[in-house]
Amino acid sequence: MTTALQFSSILTEQPRQAAGRADPAVLADLNLDQVFAAITRGRDEYDLMPFLKAPLHDAQAVEYRHQILQDMQDEALSGALAGFAGQMRQMRKYLALSQELRYRYQKQEWFLEAADVYRDAVSTLAAALAELSPASRGFTAFRRYLADYTQSEAFTGLAAGIAKVTGALASVRYCITIKGSRVRVTRYEGETDYSTEVQRTFAKFASGATRDYRIGFRNPADMDHVEARILELVARLYPDEFAALDGFCARHASYLDATIRAFDREVQFYAAYLDFIAPMKKAGLEFCYPAVSADSKEISVRDSFDLALAAKLMPAASAVVRNDFQLRGPERIFVVTGPNHGGKTTFARMFGQLHYLAGLGYPVPAREAVLFLPDQVFTHFEREEDLATLRGKFEDELIRIRRVLDQATPDSIVVMNESFASTTLRDALFTGERVLGQMTRLGLLGVYVTFVDELSSLNEATVSMVGTVVPDNPAERTYKLVRKPADGLAYAAAIAGKYGLTYRQLKERLS
The reply on whether position 353 binds another protein by CB under 8 A is no
| Site residues (CB under 8 A) for another protein, limited to 176-195 | 177-187, 189, 191, 194
State which of residues 275, 368, 430, 443 lies at the interface with another protein (CB under 8 A).
430
Task: Decide: 308 and 333 in contact? Cβ < 8 Å.
Answer: no
CA distance 347 to 352: 9
Contact 307, 365 (CB under 8 A): yes
**Which residue from 55, 138, 161, 342 is in contact with another protein, where contact means CB under 8 A?**
342
What share of residues in the chain are helix, strand, coil (percent, to 5)? 55, 15, 35
**Least distance to another protein from the beta carbon of 181, Å?**
4
Contact call for residues 484 and 457 (beta carbons, < 8 A): no
Q: Does 340 bind another protein (CB under 8 A)?
A: yes
The residue among 147 and 226 lying less far from another protein, judged by its C-beta, is 226
Rounded CA gap, 482 and 249, in Å? 67
Residue 187 vs residues 86, 164, 173, 241: alpha-carbon distances, Å: 38, 21, 6, 14
Q: What CA–CA distance (Å, rounded) separates 47 from 54?
A: 13
CB of 492 to another protein, least distance (A): 4
Contact 355, 411 (CB under 8 A): no
Site string for another protein, 407-426 (x = CB under 8 A): ----------xx-xxxxxxx
Extended strands (E) in 31-104? none
Q: At closest approach, how far in Å is the CB of 14 from another protein?
A: 35
Q: Is 316 in the site for another protein (CB under 8 A)?
A: no
- Note whether 395 binds another protein by CB under 8 A: yes
In angstroms, give the least distance from the CB of 450 to another protein.
Answer: 10
Query: Please, which residue, 128 or 321, has the CB nearer to another protein?
Result: 321
309 touches another protein (CB under 8 A): yes
Q: Measure the CA–CA gap between 131 and 123, rounded to whole angstroms.
A: 12
* Four-point Cα dihedral 487, 490, 493, 497, nearest 10: 130
Among 12, 26, 31, 411, binds another protein (CB under 8 A): 31
Is 264 a binding residue for another protein by CB under 8 A? The answer is no
Which one of 92, 312, 367, 480 is in contact with another protein (CB under 8 A)?
A: 312
Return the range that interacts with another protein (CB under 8 A); candidates 109-117, 241-249, 328-336, 342-350.
Answer: 342-350
Q: How far apart are the first and last CA of the chain?
A: 88
237 lies in the site for another protein, by CB under 8 A? yes
User: CB of residue 497 vs another protein: minimum separation in angstroms?
Assistant: 10
Nearer to another protein, 16 or 383 (CB): 383
Residue 300 touches another protein, criterion: CB under 8 A: no
Name the segment binding another protein (CB under 8 A); options: 89-97, 249-257, 365-373, 390-398.
390-398
The answer to whether the CB of 82 falls within 8 A of the CB of 210 is: no
Q: Cα–Cα distance between 32 and 307 in angstroms, integer?
A: 8
Nearer to another protein, 431 or 462 (CB): 431
The rounded distance, in Å, linking the Cα atoms of 316 and 323 is 18
Closest alpha carbon to 356 in 44, 7, 28, 11: 28
- Least distance (Å) between residue 226 CB and another protein: 7
The answer to the question of residue 37 lying near another protein (CB under 8 A) is no
Please give the size of the binding site for another protein, defined by CB under 8 A: 81
Site for another protein in 441-500 (CB under 8 A): 451-452, 488, 490, 492-493, 495-496, 498-500
Nearest to 22 by CA among 353, 381, 370, 301: 353
Angle at 115 between CA 112 and CA 120, to 5 degrees: 125
